[in-house]
Amino acid sequence: MFKILKTENKARRGEFETVHGTIQTPVFMNVGTSAAVKGGISTMDLREVGCQVELSNTYHLHIRPGDDLIYRLGGLHKFFNWDRPILTDSGGFQVFSLAKLRKITEEGVSFSSHMDGKRIFMGPEESMQIQSHLASTIAMAFDECIENPAPYDYVKHSSERTVRWLYRCKAEMDRLCALPDTINKKQMLFGINQGGTYEDLRIANMKAIAELNLDGYAIGGLAVGEEADEMYRIIEAVEPHMPYDKPRYLMGVGTPLNILEAVHRGVDFFDCVMPSRNARHGNLFTWHGKMNINNEKYYDDPRPIDDGCGCPACRHYSRAYIRHLFKAREMLAMRLCVLHNLYFYNELMQKIRDALDAGCYESFYQKYAQILDKRSTT
């Protein structure tokens, strides 16, 4: 159940109760695509950096090690030792972005695995079955992730099919949750809004999927190359038609500025590989802006990455040392920087929640929107 505790204009402070614990929103989900965050980050580390929700991917776990294996071992929570909520993406994005020689029909998608070329079929029922085996807290509906931009007629046809697929997802999820051998009989289902950058298609799709009274709703198909202003325009068009009393999830977003802007427009859930991916190349987020630790000016800098940061890297190591690790190509460099960025994102969400609790999100938003997207000068 989702409970809105406080609002400030469109921004919402809430709590989402699940079988694996209560999620404080707005929240950023830390992405561990194949049941691990890249950079050598364990679930013990995720607890230390304040992660509330871990996100794993249906497609990748189906390919390797196989959802049957994870099911036999007791589900994803036991598999990688995590006692907090997990959201599993449906695999739709990966099918359409990674898989080769795909063929889309009303039934689903036939495609070749990006790993070994093996032919695989995935449709709404198969996606729900895999996610039921994984026993995640929240399952995402199977949808078609179209390229952006795409012709209006194709987007219309695709978004209508996504609605039909959602009905099949819900029917299959209801069936699976009633089976005696299902690990998580209280698994939740989020629907996904599609429609490209066409406002009328987005609104029609949102109205249609809202009729199913699901546990939550996502805006998908954005953050795939369009300008940020385009993304904000679509959020503003769709938001009034999203159920008020259900969580709202903006998939694959994004930068700290994107998050501030989307919270400002009424979004509750976020995920992105950006903090971990950027960190592995030395690109770091701080409260005084972005920085690259490989820069020559940090050669002999004794300060932590970010003064006052409570992450393991900042508590124990200097900029000079972490830069040295990168230059020496030590794996520890990536690990420390990923820990820092994840801690920063989770702390950002905590500060957003604190600002909403205090009724001062607008001033927080105005202040940090000017800082977080710029290059640090310190």
Cα 280 to chain centroid, rounded: 18
Strand partners, 104: 109
- DSSP letters of 18-61? ETTEEEEESEEEEE-TTSSBTTTB-HHHHHHTT---EEEEHHHH
**What span, in angstroms and rounded, lies between the C-alpha atoms of 352 and 347?**
8
Rounded to the nearest angstrom, the gap between the alpha carbon of residue 225 and the centroid of all alpha carbons in its chain is 17
Please, how many CA atoms are within 13 Å of residue 101, restricted to the half-sphere of its CB?
A: 10
Angle between helices 331-358 and 361-368 (to 10 degrees): 140
Q: Which of 143, 215, 271, 306 is catalytic?
A: 271
Is residue 320 helix, strand or coil?
Answer: helix
229 noted as active-site residue: no
The answer to whether 116 is a known catalytic residue is no
Task: In whole angstroms, give the CA distance from residue 245 to residue 243.
Answer: 6
Q: How many CA atoms lie within 13 A of 110 on its CB side?
A: 5
Strand stretches in 175-313, DSSP E: 188-193, 216-219, 248-250, 269-271, 283-286, 289-292
- State the number of CA atoms in the 13 A half-sphere of 118 facing the CB: 8
The tokens of 107 are what? 């039934």
Among residues 45, 89, 143, 215, the one annotated as catalytic is 89
Q: Which amino acid is at 202?
A: R
Cis peptide before 254 (omega within 30 of 0): yes
Active site residues: 89, 271
